[in-house]
Amino acid sequence: MQGLEQRSDEDLMLEIKAGNMLAFDILYRKYSIRLYKFALSLLKIPEEAENIVQDVFMKLWLNREKVDKAASVRYFVFSIAHNSSISLLRKKLNESKFTEYLLTRQDSFQEPETLLLEYNELDEKLNKVIDSLPARQQEVYRMHHIEGLKYADIAGRLGISENTIENHMSRALKTIRTKMGGYSFAALLFIHLFT
């Protein structure tokens, strides 16, 4: 068991593909807390964040044979968590209580359908802007905003100083703010509150 716990994600994934539940449990313990924090940062509701984590690992298990052996397991599980959280937020836009909550955040608000269209456009553009960042800025941004890691943890993982991490994040955020201009306050508020 000790040997299995010390194996890489890729090795664990090979074991999981072969149906090894112990390897699956190790991977779950390795990522579940980080995924929970990430989902909670998006959804703001603990029960829903817990559901996202369960959903991620259910999808991982059910699709274990389809996971490319060269793909990053970490990227795979965080992508599922991100997509599942965004889907849930989109569904919530159609719920009256959630819409009322958003309405309390701004007096003159757009119709929920308009906001959803704008949010989808905004989300798509944001992903394109992030993809266009220089490689290191993109890596640091994703580790901080998608994985929920602190600057010190990122610095340790990448073997560079915390100041360098701050510089990369500052440049990335400046680029994102510049390229994301022109959206309504309502859409930007939504992104700020829920992503």
Kindly state whether residues 43 and 105 are assigned to the same domain.
Answer: no
Q: What is the CATH number of the domain that holds 8?
A: 1.10.1740.10
DSSP secondary structure of 82-130: HHHHHHHHHHHHTSHHHHHHHHTT-SSPPPHHHHHHHHHHHHHHHHHHH
pLDDT tens-digit profile of 115-166?
556 666 777 777 888 889 999 999 998 888 777 788 888 999 999 999 999 8
Kindly state whether residues 194 and 99 are assigned to the same domain.
Answer: yes
Q: What is the mean pLDDT of residues 27-44?
A: 88
Q: Measured between alpha carbons, how far is 160 from 114 in angstroms, rounded to an integer? A: 43
Number of structural domains the chain divides into: 2
Residues 6+ apart with CB under 8 A from 67: 13, 17, 60, 73, 76
- pLDDT interval class at 181 (50, 70, 90): low
Boundary residue ending a domain (93, 121, 142)? 93
Mean pLDDT of the chain: 78
Kindly state whether residues 78 and 159 are assigned to the same domain.
Answer: no
- pLDDT interval class at 71 (50, 70, 90): low
Kindly state whether residues 136 and 148 are assigned to the same domain.
Answer: yes
Kindly state whether residues 50 and 135 are assigned to the same domain.
Answer: no
Boundary residue ending a domain (57, 75, 93)? 93
- pLDDT interval class at 103 (50, 70, 90): low
Kindly state whether residues 88 and 121 are assigned to the same domain.
Answer: no
Boundary residue ending a domain (93, 109, 140)? 93
Determine which of 1-15, 99-113, 166-180 has the lowest per-residue pLDDT on average.
Answer: 99-113
Range of 73's domain? 1-93
| pLDDT at 83 > cutoff 80 | yes
Q: What is the pLDDT of residue 32?
A: 92
Kindly state whether residues 98 and 86 are assigned to the same domain.
Answer: no
